[in-house]
Structure 1
Amino acid sequence: MTARDRNSGFAARPRDAESWIRSPDPSSSASIAADLYTARLTVDITPALRGRIKIAAFQRGITVADMLRDLLAREYPDTDGDRP
């Protein structure tokens, strides 16, 4: 058996949680027209609602992600105290 390097970085705990949360994902290559920092949000919805959302986005000629980002931004506008 060979010894494993415990400091390989895989699944390593961050030393400073705040800077780890706010840092962009280095493996992400998706170009998103959003702020410098992004976060993934998972929401459980019914298959029927998912279908309606996808149809609405297709009819508008935009992606589901862009449509939902716009919807959330309208519902929860940025205030001066929310910026990092």
Structure 2
Amino acid sequence: MTRRPAPVLAARPRDDAQRWVDGDGKGRTAPKAEAYSARLTIDVTPALRGRIKVAAFRQGVTVADLLRAMLEERFGAGPS
């Protein structure tokens, strides 16, 4: 069995958090994520997850769309 090399992870810069979030311009961000979106994973209780799903269903939207709208309302459009 051939071992795959370990993935190379970029170190988080200590001086510029925004550069770390956006990537450093050297191709270290995933092309798909750069062009479309970024994935965010959070842990919630099963009860909260259920309430979020019910709220999304009642509004006729997906959970992802509901949460995106909530985050956009709270944090607004950042610098492009």
Question: Which of the five TM-score ranges fits, normalised by the shorter chain?
Answer: 0.5 to 0.7
TM-score (norm 2): 0.63
Tell me the C-alpha RMSD between the 2 structures: 2.9
- Identical columns (%): 45
2:43 aligned with 1:20? no
Q: What residue ranges of structure 2 are gaps of 5+ in the alignment? A: 11-22
TM-score (norm 1): 0.60
Q: How does 1:1-84 map to 2 (within 5 A)?
A: 12-13=7-8, 18=24, 19-21=27-29, 23-24=31-32, 36-79=35-78, 82-83=79-80
Between Structure 1 and Structure 2, which shows a larger proportion of helix residues?
Answer: 2
- Bigger radius of gyration, 1 or 2? 1
Moved more, 52-61 or 36-45: 36-45
